[in-house]
Amino acid sequence: MAFLCMLSAHGQAFTNLNFEQAKPVPIIGNPNYPYAVTVASALPAWTVTEAGIEPTIILENDPSLGATAVMLSGPGYYPGFGPIDGNYSAVLQGIAPGTTASISQTGLIPIGTQTLFFDAEPAFGIPFGQLELLIGTQVVPFAIVATEPNYTLYGANISQWAGLTEQLTFSAPGGSDNNWILDDISFSTNSFAPEPGIVVLSAIGGLLFGARKWFPRR
């Protein structure tokens, strides 16, 4: 009981960060049935915003073709929008210019947190725009940690918010079919080293070449 009181006093922990708590409930009678599902059943603990509106219904495995939207990707997914890991992923579709598709959740960022890790990939693996991460109203930069065959692992330094209750938001600004698949969000006490870019690797190669030139083997 004391533990529950402490948790309540310091903030509720984030939940459903891998989207596997989804138990989508179809909206029978909706024109988009069987693709229309309730937000509460599809993305528990998350608040969905589409072009400034918080809908109570989103689509499952049926991507939007012309409007900014949030979709649940699950079993039987639409090609190119499949789950990154497990049975479910969230899809942010920023399509209409001047709008955003986002999901957000308010919770306690664990004490000692250094990094927020997450998996993401543009639909069909082709980036047409950007994905944004926000803590509260502040946009937080993130970098590539590792590149895998069907997704990219990103990391963001969020140590300044460790131990605080904050709103976490992932957003896809509208324009040019900006579609992102998101999964496996996690808080870590480990820092991270961004994946070295081509320029960095070239510089290292140049230094090594120079070292061999000026310090030949004896």
Q: How confident is the model at residue 176 (pLDDT cuts 50, 70, 90)?
A: confident
pLDDT digits (tens, 9 = 90+) for 71-124: 999 998 999 999 999 999 999 999 999 999 999 999 999 999 999 999 999 998
Residue 21 pLDDT level (bands cut at 50, 70, 90): very high
Residue type, 158: I
140 exposed, middle or buried (CB, 10 Å; 0-12, 13-18, 19+)? middle
Contacts of 70 (CB under 8 A, 6+ apart): 43, 48, 49, 50, 55, 58, 90, 91, 92, 93, 101, 102, 103
Kindly report the pTM of this predicted structure.
Answer: 0.85
Read off the pLDDT of each residue in 132-155 and give the average, rounded to a whole number.
Answer: 97
The fold of 10-214 is Jelly Rolls (2.60.120)
DSSP 134: E
What burial class does residue 26 get, using C-beta atoms within 10 Å of its C-beta: 0-12 exposed, 13-18 middle, 19+ buried? middle
What is residue 80's predicted lDDT score, i.e. its pLDDT? 93
Rg (CA), the chain: 20
Q: Tens digits of per-residue pLDDT, 31-45?
A: 999 999 999 999 999
pLDDT of residue 213: 40
